[in-house]
Amino acid sequence: MFSFFRYCYTLVLCLTLPLIFLRLLWRSLRVPAYRQRWLERLGIFNFERKAKNCIWVHAVSVGEVVAAIPVINALQTRYPELSITVTTTTPTGSQRVIQSLGKTVTHVYLPYDLPWALNNFIRRVTPKILLILETELWPNLINSCHGKNIPIIIVNARLSAKSFAGYVKIKFLVSKILQQVTKVAAQSEADAERFKQLGIDKNKLQVIGNLKFDVQIPVAQQQAGKNLKLSLNNRLVWVAASTHAGEEEQIILAYKQVKAKFANCLLILIPRHPDRFNEVAKLLEKNQLTYIKRSSGINCSLDTAAILGDTMGEMNIFYAAADVAFVGGSLVNLGGHNVLEPAALGVPIITGIHMSNFQEITDKLLAAKAICIINNYQELADRIIDWFINAESRKYIGAQGQAVIAQNRGALDQVTAELATFLSPSPLVPQQLNPVASH
């Protein structure tokens, strides 16, 4: 039955391939990078010989790449003789890999879930192991690796209630896919329980905590943020990060109220997707807010109301320059974005109510009074005004966020310990954990 399903699935995927490439072409009208490197998506690429017999890490986009970086750094330290190949799906994920890891890894796009494309990729790369960040259950990807005896480890695995509700409808198929997975290292007991209900063998399941708590902000980025703050004449800085359509309008309404109280307030507005930079620029113009684009290199004057963050890889620099941060994808029902980077820098955080993709993290921060949840732009404006008035409150909340991160570190050590059982022995690797050890 499962083989028949994969045959039908593959046939449909082949038939829709022209539409998939047309969609890439359409998306490239806004993001030119979608027009590039198409052959990689079919498993055709130039590959350095030294990258063979490697550790293969798959991280879909930016969020997964962020979680993967500490793991990659640890693996490079413990296994310097092994090369690492990183695949992503999106250009933004690709860009983050290149910016953060440079030539220390090999990067290509993940081939589409077609057996011949995947088999060509695997034949050329010959990976020793596949690490999948969070949850990517591609039937042919899993089957191809399983058939070639390549261990498949899902790292930092999570299943939101929404995703689980979708998977459970095809449980008989998902359970077959999970049977071919070697190990699932889940973020939380709730995630582990959902994987159990989908049919994963409990002996393959381990709760290790969330790798995102092991975030380390590079010193160079912290210093660059401090330098940016100084260049702004120490104005009060509010960063609105990873925003989406339907949020920027509310942020601008809130900003106008804040600026009426604090004339020296500066907004740094960073849309989540690069293809929306021009759209948000027009929105700032429509609201008669003077702004500069970060990419322009123009110095920010006292008359500048906002900086449009239209560059890549500078989010932590903006956070390090901030007095307060709003993290988007949360005033609209998109599940939110990672709040741990500003927390690691001691920046007080505000989000909207839609944080389902980061529920466990949000709950931990809420329990420590290290985050503020708001419902609308009025509450957003009120909270920022309150924090701008009370510097001690900002400092306390920021310190609480850093404390939550410190208390929840440790997933990285557990992951690298587990991976030691699949990679060549090294004296630097900690002792293996029991299969069902909890974080």
Do 61 and 201 belong together in one domain? yes
Check which CATH number belongs to the domain holding 44 and give it.
3.40.50.11720
Do 161 and 188 belong together in one domain? yes
Contact of 288 with 341, CB cutoff 8 Å: no
Mean of pLDDT values over 143-149: 96
In whole numbers, what is the pLDDT of the chain averaged over residues? 91
Distance, in Å, from the CA atom of 342 to the CA atom of 225, rounded to the nearest integer, reads 12
| DSSP per position, 106-155 | EEEEPPPS-HHHHHHHHHHH--SEEEEES----HHHHHHHHHTT--EEEE
433 belongs to a structural domain: no
Mean of pLDDT values over 370-393: 96
Do 147 and 223 belong together in one domain? no
Lowest mean pLDDT among 124-138, 165-179, 415-429: 415-429
Do 103 and 55 belong together in one domain? yes
Residue 431: which pLDDT band, with cuts at 50, 70 and 90?
A: very low
Contact of 378 with 254, CB cutoff 8 Å: yes
Six-digit token string for 55: 């550790």
**Three-class SS of residue 10?**
helix
27 belongs to a structural domain: no
173 belongs to a structural domain: yes
pLDDT value of residue 49:
64
pLDDT value of residue 435:
37
Residues recognised as catalytic: 64
349 belongs to a structural domain: yes
* H helices present in 16-83, as ranges: 17-28, 62-78
Torsion angle of the four alpha carbons 293, 299, 300, 304, in this order, in degrees rounded to the nearest 10: -70
Do 177 and 225 belong together in one domain? no
Check which CATH number belongs to the domain holding 245 and give it.
3.40.50.2000
Q: Which amino acid is at 408?
A: N
Distance, in Å, from the CA atom of 426 to the CA atom of 162, rounded to the nearest integer, reads 40
Do 66 and 188 belong together in one domain? yes
| DSSP per position, 366-431 | HHTT-EEE-SSHHHHHHHHHHHHH-HHHHHHHHHHHHHHHHHH--HHHHHHHHHTTTS---TTSPP
The C-alpha angle with vertex 308 and arms to 238 and 313, in degrees rounded to 5, equals: 90
431 belongs to a structural domain: no
> pLDDT, tens digit, for every residue of 199-238?
999 999 999 999 999 988 999 999 999 999 999 988 999 9
Do 184 and 271 belong together in one domain? no
253 C-beta neighbours (distance < 10 Å), count: 15
Number of domains in the chain: 2
Buried b (16+ CB within 10 A) or exposed e, 97-136: bbebbeeebbbbbbbbbbbebbbbbbebbebbbbbbbbbb
* pTM of the entire predicted model: 0.85
pLDDT value of residue 19:
96
pLDDT value of residue 269:
98
> pLDDT, tens digit, for every residue of 9-29?
999 999 999 999 999 999 888
Q: Cβ contacts of residue 374 below 8 Å, gap of 6+?
A: 331, 350, 351, 352, 353, 380, 383
Do 169 and 233 belong together in one domain? no
The residue range of the domain holding 57 is 40-209+410-419
CA nearest neighbour of 368 among 331, 339, 390: 339
pLDDT greater than 90 at residue 320: yes
Do 104 and 72 belong together in one domain? yes
DSSP one-letter code for 247: T
Nearest-Å Rg of the Cα atoms of the chain is 22
Do 141 and 281 belong together in one domain? no
pLDDT value of residue 162:
84
Distance, in Å, from the CA atom of 286 to the CA atom of 269, rounded to the nearest integer, reads 15
Count of positions (residues) in the chain: 439
171 C-beta neighbours (distance < 10 Å), count: 13
Mean of pLDDT values over 257-270: 96
Mean of pLDDT values over 114-127: 94
Q: Are strands 205-207 and 237-243 parallel, antiparallel or unpaired?
A: unpaired
Do 205 and 223 belong together in one domain? no
11 belongs to a structural domain: no
Do 187 and 267 belong together in one domain? no
**Three-class SS of residue 53?**
coil
427 belongs to a structural domain: no
378 belongs to a structural domain: yes
H/E segment holding residue 307: strand 306-308
H/E segment holding residue 261: helix 248-261
> pLDDT, tens digit, for every residue of 322-340?
999 999 999 999 999 999 9
pLDDT value of residue 427:
41
